[in-house]
């Protein structure tokens, strides 16, 4: 498999999913679609905040992941194996961590806004 095809099917798909999440965020709390953690599903206010925060972070970091993976594919002399998937994992992990931190900074344990 070509390095560019590999990057398009991993990082490119992740970036496409982030665009879909950003353009079509979930309207109501559900168990199928959106940023679903116990804290995010406490109430509608946290739900909308968490999904907005996650979708923006996910869009940003999956885009960065896609660009870096494309650069890696263009300069790599050997076939890529696990490297693009590291960028995928980092994009998801950083988005999750940033969202959880934002929730904890803006909401207390009972689900009320702090600020």
pLDDT in tens, the chain (115 residues): 688 888 989 999 999 999 999 999 999 999 999 999 999 999 999 999 999 999 999 999 999 999 999 999 888 867 788 888 999 999 999 999 999 999 999 999 999 999 6
**Total-model pTM:** 0.89
Rg of the chain, C-alpha, whole Å: 16
Cα separation, 94 vs 62, in Å, equals: 10
Other C-beta atoms lying within 10 Å of the C-beta of residue 74: 10
Q: Helix 44-75 vs helix 13-23: angle between axes, to the nearest 10 degrees?
A: 150
> Could you give the C-alpha distances from 14 to 7, 8, 91, 109, in angstroms and in order?
10, 9, 9, 32
The confidence score (pLDDT) of residue 79 equals: 79
């Amino acid at each position: 498999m070509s390095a560019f095809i590999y990057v398009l099917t991993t990082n490119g798909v992740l970036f496409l999913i982030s665009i879909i999440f950003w353009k079509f965020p979930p309207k109501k709390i559900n168990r199928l679609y959106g940023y679903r953690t116990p804290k995010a599903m406490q109430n509608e206010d946290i739900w909308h905040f968490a999904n907005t925060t996650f979708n923006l972070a996910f869009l940003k970091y999956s885009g960065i992941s896609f660009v870096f993976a494309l650069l890696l594919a263009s300069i790599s002399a050997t076939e890529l194996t696990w490297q693009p998937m590291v960028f995928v994992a980092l994009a998801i992990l950083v988005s999750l961590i940033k969202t959880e931190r934002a929730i904890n900074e803006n909401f207390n344990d009972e689900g009320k806004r702090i600020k």
